[in-house]
Chain A
Amino acid sequence: MTRVLVVVPCFNEQASVGRVVAEVKTHLPEADVLVVDDCSSDGTLIAAQAAGAEVVSLCVNLGVGGAMRVGYRYADEHGYDVVLQVDGDGQHDSAVARPLLDAVANGADLVIGARFAGTGDYDVRGPRRWSMRLLAAVLSRRTGVRLTDTTSGFRAASPRATRLFARHYAAEYLGDTIEAIVLASKAGLVIEQVPVAMRARTTGRPSAGSWRAVLYLGRVVLALVLSSVRRFPSQVDA
């Protein structure tokens, strides 16, 4: 029996986290659920506990990267076979998570659930779309794997990837998406993409707005440049 840990990074998601946890428990009954509460100021903690998840609370807001590294550290310490990341805002449907877990079972180290790979009707346009195109092109080239949705947070990690991420996951902006892929690739891990359908967020507003989308594009370019010159470990430490 493979031991699965579902990590749900949350920042002020009291409206959705309960349902996310409940869904995971329904669709992946064998999995343990760990909610990482990234210093929320609302009732995220209580909602997650009420839904029956294990909750780790950060006393300083670290962002998704920091929250996920806690999840990977937890998984590494407790010897899980797969770590599945599911965002707390409800856009990841755990009913379609099984193929991600299967891919890890079949030897992949980092499996990315991708939106634009054929299933689902998730639509983005403008600068944000260009950013995603650029990311997909550059990272596909660099990893040698066809990636279409590199910023997807719907991911599964093998124990090797978990150990790597537990130590080196960047807390910076986009560190949880771009750098994580480069990190895994440089360490010689097997990256794979699995098409999934995603929902629009159940709560909260998507960070659209053309101004912010342009700013986002700039940060994407910066993150890509940085990740190409930065040093990364060439293998997973024992």
Chain B
Amino acid sequence: MNGVFVVGLIGGAVSLVLIGELLRRRQLREKYAVIWLLIGLPIAVLAVAPSLLDKAADQLGVADPVNLLLFLSVLVLLGVCLHLSWECSRLEEETRSLVEEVALLRHRVERWERR
């Protein structure tokens, strides 16, 4: 058992525990947890069987397997960031609608109270 294997395993285990704990405490909505678990799964597989990465790189014609791994990681992280920006935009739009609604309702209530 070499060092890389251990590092990978520990990294995977820590993320799994962290996600599981956040989920358990209701700090993480399941739709986000699912994303991270889906990302964690291939990582765990690769940690256990690193030779899979070599085979994949060979099939795709990537000279250095590590490059394939890094490329895929960047791609996945980009996707996650994009997803968060999208969620953020939606939240802002929702907040805006709520602020408008509250303002109009408050105006209505105050008008009633003045009568």
Residues of A with Cβ closer than 8 Å to B?
36, 54-60, 62, 66, 69-70, 73-74, 77, 171
Contacts and interface: CB of A to CB of B under 8 A. Distances in A.
Interface SS of B by simple majority: helix
Given A58-B100, A66-B96, A66-B100, 5 more contacts: A36-B103, A59-B99, A62-B96, A74-B104, A74-B107
A69 B104 contact: no
A114 B96 CA distance: 29
A211 to B, nearest CB: 27
Nearest to B101: A73
B95 interface: yes
A56 B104 contact: yes
Interface of B: 93, 95-96, 99-100, 102-104, 106-107
Nearest first, the 8 A-B pairs at minimum CB distance are: A56-B107, A60-B99, A70-B100, A56-B103, A58-B103, A171-B96, A58-B99, A66-B96
A60 B100 CA distance: 9
Most chain-A Cβ atoms within 10 A of its Cβ — which of B93, B99, B100, B107? Answer: B100
B100 A57 contact: no
Contacts of A60: 95-96, 99
Contacts of A62: 96, 99-100
19 contacts: A54-B107, A56-B103, A57-B103, A57-B106, A57-B107, A58-B99, A58-B103, A59-B102, A59-B103, A60-B96, A62-B99, A62-B100, A66-B96, A66-B99, A69-B100, A70-B100, A70-B103, A73-B100, A74-B104
